Amino acid sequence: MNAAELWIQLSADGLVEGAQPDPEPSGSPWFVRVMLGIAGWIGALFLLIFVGLTLSSIIDDAASSLIAGAACCAGAFALFRGFDGQDFAEQFALALGLTGQALLVVGLAHLFKAGNAGLYLAVAAAEATLVLVIPHFLHRLLATGGAALAVALAFNQLAFQGLAAPLLCVALAAIWLNPARWATSGRLWRPIGYGLVLALLLTETFRLFGTENLFGRARETGWMALHVPLVGRGLTGAVLIWVAAVLSIREGFAPNSRIVLLAVGAASLMAILCMMAPGLGSALLIVLLGFAAGNRLLIAFGILSLLGFAGHFYYSLHATLLAKSGILAVTGFGLLAASLFLRRSADRLEQPRNA
């Protein structure tokens, strides 16, 4: 399918309208882009070294840090808008924007008490504003990840550790399950989608190794600390079941059809098994969304994270190797049985209503 045929198909589906836009000019070779990017970071590094000579007086004052951070972000915005497509300027602007984000965080840390949930919520609001304002893919991706991680840290300070992951799963599913949004506003939602994936994986990893406490410990250490993470894994499993049902119904099957019930049943089984293995539910959700969107990069992230979380579960010391081997064996036999059932009953499964 060429570009003209693709535009006609998208127009027929109501995803685009108007005349086909002119093709974008071909960019520079990749090695030229790499060299220009390196040159941009070198130039930004020299600028930061020059600014760093007076940085000590800036970071000690909240107002100075916030003003300097806002100025850096404004400069990054001007460079992104004025030199769009020029690798040197874009990389320079990216380094300048990241410096501005760091200065904003320092300034907000002066205004709020250390370890306060309000600090992380303020950081999340600032990062979300930068996502909407600065029109650059990588900058938006990193700002989205920063905002989501700040929300997760705020949840940790409120003794709701473990509930940030299902919240990120809901946001992730809402974005990746809406292809129309990607077609109309892809420059905004594409980096947000990838940024949420990055934040979800980092949040689950921090939870596994307890490193979220480096940014302030949760005040609750009793019942809440013991059961809230379990509730969070249960909610993540619920999101996995919901996504499986939505994707099955999207294919045209009736909600009470055999294929929908089978998909919900398989997702429910996996959700129950993932209750005992932190992180697996989120990884399976990423894999499922990747298959639904036909996104190989998302599938690769999901599979790698799935292997990592399964390896951590197997080698952790919270249960005996025999018990964990039994859980993994039951999971494997369940998946093989489901695969065999689908292969043998494929001809008897109901066809979509619109087939």
Q: What is the pLDDT of residues 314-336, one digit of tens each?
A: 777 566 777 777 777 777 777 77
Q: What is the pLDDT of residue 229?
A: 74
**Mean predicted lDDT score pLDDT of the chain:** 78
Cβ atoms of residues 207 and 165 within 8 Å: yes
Q: Supply the angle between the helices 164-176 and 137-157 in degrees, to the nearest 10.
A: 150
What is the Cβ-side half-sphere exposure of residue 97, based on CA atoms within 13 angstroms? 29
Which DSSP symbol is given to 212? G
Q: What angle do CA 289, 291, 292 make, to 5 degrees?
A: 60
End-to-end CA distance of the chain: 23
Q: Kindly write down the DSSP assignment for every residue of 138-176, as one continuous string.
A: HHHHHHHHHHHHHHHHHHHHTT-TTSHHHHHHHHHHHHH
Residues in the chain with pLDDT values less than 70: 1, 22-41, 43-45, 47-57, 85, 114-115, 183, 209-227, 317-319, 338, 341-355
Assign residue 162 a region (left: φ > 0; alpha: ψ between -120 and 50; beta: otherwise): left
Instruction: Please identify which residue in the block is written with the tokens 């619109």.
Output: 354
Q: What is the pLDDT of residue 147?
A: 92
pTM score: 0.77
Distance CA(96)–CA(76), nearest Å, equals: 6
Written as six digits, the tokens of 340 are 């065999």
Cβ atoms of residues 242 and 173 within 8 Å: yes
Burial category of 13 from C-beta neighbours within 10 Å (exposed 0-12, middle 13-18, buried 19 and up):
exposed
Burial category of 214 from C-beta neighbours within 10 Å (exposed 0-12, middle 13-18, buried 19 and up):
exposed
